[in-house]
């Protein structure tokens, strides 16, 4: 088992990475303040993993209540969030009842948000079942729902008690979802870890084949990178924003096409290419650097061109981004390959990037 520690003074916790963690129920039970949990999952994951998890907990003497939600980004809404609250209230769940998020990023984000506000805060545990959730959304305490005008605009920072990244759950992940997760893995190499980017270039075939050792290393290294950044800037007052490389453009793609049309990782991949093209316009990276980024993303099965929405539509959607400060859109740009920074772009630079990166 690989362990990554997220060292926050007020809420340190472990990220455990291995195969078959769902069968090790004691990893969960030892962290429960009372022997009562509410598992939140979705209609896709429930038939695969809910039964064994529920049975294992019940065998350990834990009272289990299950809440099964519809699956998909389009259901990351107030209405679906209220289904969680309905279930918790109907079961008379208490302040020491632990919520367990069993699913991908949507389930993790909504369960975490529900945990943050139900009775003003209850414990929760993340069991991410997608690659994207294991390397990104389950780590760091960002919780949220979407609004029609913007992604993740309503939420809270609220840390889990534990993250169980069971690599076995990736066996049932559809290829498109798996590739979407690799976008977030590649992101870490571009933020500030050129050696990891180069490792990914050398090992992308093994990752696409879902080789266990390659996957375990990629998940662990991604979590280490995120844990280091989050520990230094939990509430995203500064450097944590670097984790949003590709997201300003990417969130505009998701909102512009309608949430769920593109997977989050697909939009981030196209967004990273746009960020690279804008950085090239600034003279920070070369044509060869952009080609390397696009080549790795393509080998990971990801899109490298963004949809044509129009410059004004992109600007309008990006103006809704959480990183907007004093009316100015903040972008994560590349200083060079493997090193990024927070900056601003003039409209002509954005236009040039969109012209080169949209089709």
Token reading at 8: 């926050």
What's the pLDDT score for residue 238? 86
CB 134 within 8 A of CB 219: yes
Q: pLDDT, tens digit, for every residue of 39-91?
A: 999 999 999 999 999 999 999 999 999 999 999 999 999 999 999 999 999 99
Helices (H), the chain: 26-29, 51-59, 78-90, 105-117, 131-132, 175-192, 194-208, 212-232, 247-257, 264-281, 287-299, 311-318, 347-357
In a domain, 288, yes or no: yes
What does the alpha-carbon distance between residue 108 and residue 141 come to, in Å, rounded to a whole number?
Answer: 10
pLDDT, position 11: 87
Statement to judge: residues 81 and 228 lie in one domain: no
Q: Report pLDDT digits (tens) over 239-286.
A: 899 999 999 999 999 999 999 899 999 999 999 999 999 999 999 999
Residues near 68 by Cβ (< 8 Å), separated by ≥ 6?
Answer: 41, 42, 43, 46, 50
How many CB atoms within 10 Å of residue 81? Answer: 20
Task: Tell me: pLDDT of 293 over 90.
Answer: yes
Structural domain of 15: 2-172
**pLDDT band (50, 70, 90) for residue 334:** very high
| pTM of the model as a whole | 0.93
Strand bridging mode 2-6 / 13-18: antiparallel
59 part of a folded domain? yes
Q: Give dist(CA 323, CA 305) in Å, integer.
A: 23
- What are the angstrom distances between the C-alpha of 7 and each of 32, 49, 231, 234, 241? 20, 30, 6, 10, 18
The domain that holds 19 is classified in CATH as 3.40.50.1970
Show which residues are catalytic: 120, 142, 184, 226, 236, 240, 244, 247, 251, 264
In a domain, 256, yes or no: yes
- Taking only the tens place, the pLDDT of each residue in 296-318 is 999 999 999 999 999 999 999 99
Q: Which of 172, 205, 228 is the last residue of a domain?
A: 172
Per the domain annotation, does 212 fall within a domain? yes
Are 9 and 136 members of one domain? yes
Tokens 């350990």: give the residue: 60
**In a shared domain, residues 145 and 217:** no
Residue 204: partners with Cβ closer than 8 Å, 6 or more residues away: 296, 299, 300
Do 167 and 197 have their domain in common? no
| pLDDT at residue 326 is higher than 80 | no
For residue 208, the 8-state DSSP code is: H
197 and 127 in one domain? no
340 and 253 within one domain: yes
pLDDT value at residue 71? 96
Tell me, yes or no, whether 38 and 116 share the same domain: yes
Same domain, 165 and 195: no
pLDDT score of 9: 86
Say yes or no: 138 and 227 in one domain. no
| Short-list 77, 122, 86, 120, CA closest to 101 | 122
Determine the pLDDT at residue 150: 84
What value does the mean pLDDT take over residues 163-177? 97
Query: Chain centroid to CA 5: how far?
Result: 18
225 and 160 assigned to the same domain: no
Q: How many domains, in total, are found in the chain?
A: 2
Share of the chain above pLDDT 90, in %: 92
The whole-number pLDDT of residue 23 equals: 94
pLDDT at 324 over 80: no
pLDDT of residue 151: 87
| Whether residues 130 and 227 fall in one domain | no
**Domain end call among 139, 172, 205:** 172
- Of 172, 203, 226, the residue at which a domain comes to its end is 172
- Whichever domain contains 205, its CATH number is 1.20.1090.10
Does residue 202 belong to any structural domain of this protein? Answer: yes
Going by the DSSP 8-state scheme, the letter that residue 325 receives in this structure is B
Q: How many helices (H) and strands (E) does the chain have?
A: 13, 11
Do 347 and 277 lie in a common domain? yes
Query: What's residue 68's pLDDT?
Result: 98
180: in domain: no
Residue 184 is assigned to a structural domain of this protein: no
């Amino acid at each position: 088992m690989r362990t990554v520690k997220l060292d926050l003074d007020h809420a340190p916790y472990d990220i455990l990475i291995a195969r078959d963690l769902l069968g090790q129920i004691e990893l969960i039970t030892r962290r429960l303040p009372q022997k009562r949990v509410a598992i939140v999952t979705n209609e896709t994951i429930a038939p695969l993993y809910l039964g064994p998890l529920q049975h294992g907990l019940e065998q350990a003497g834990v009272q289990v209540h299950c809440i099964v939600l519809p699956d998909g980004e389009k259901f990351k809404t107030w209405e679906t969030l209220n289904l969680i609250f309905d279930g918790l209230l109907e079961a008379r769940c208490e302040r020491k009842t632990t919520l367990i998020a069993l699913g991908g990023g949507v389930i993790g984000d909504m369960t975490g948000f529900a945990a943050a506000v139900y009775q003003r805060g209850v414990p929760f545990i993340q069991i991410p079942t997608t690659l994207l959730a294991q390397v990104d959304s389950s780590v760091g305490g960002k919780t949220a729902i979407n609004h029609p005008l913007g992604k993740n605009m309503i939420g809270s920072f609220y840390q889990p008690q534990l993250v169980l990244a069971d690599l076995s759950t990736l066996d049932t992940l559809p290829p498109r979802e798996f590739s979407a997760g690799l976008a977030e893995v590649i992101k870490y190499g571009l933020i500030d870890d050129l050696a990891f980017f180069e490792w990914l270039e050398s090992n992308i075939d093994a990752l696409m084949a879902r080789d266990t050792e390659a996957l375990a290393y990629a998940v662990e290294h991604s979590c280490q990178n995120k844990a280091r950044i989050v520990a230094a800037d939990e509430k995203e007052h500064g450097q944590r924003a670097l984790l949003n490389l590709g997201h300003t453009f990417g969130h505009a793609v998701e909102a512009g096409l309608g949430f769920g049309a593109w997977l989050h990782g697909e939009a981030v991949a196209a967004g990273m290419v746009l960020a690279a093209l804008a950085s090239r316009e600034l003279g920070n990276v070369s044509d060869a650097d952009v080609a390397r980024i696009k080549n790795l993303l393509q080998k990971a099965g990801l899109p490298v061109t963004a949809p044509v929405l129009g410059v004004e539509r992109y600007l309008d959607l990006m103006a809704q981004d959480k990183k907007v400060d004093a009316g100015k859109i903040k972008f994560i740009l590349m200083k060079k390959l493997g090193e990024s920074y927070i900056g601003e772009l003039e409209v002509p630079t954005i236009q040039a990037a969109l012209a080169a990166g949209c089709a």
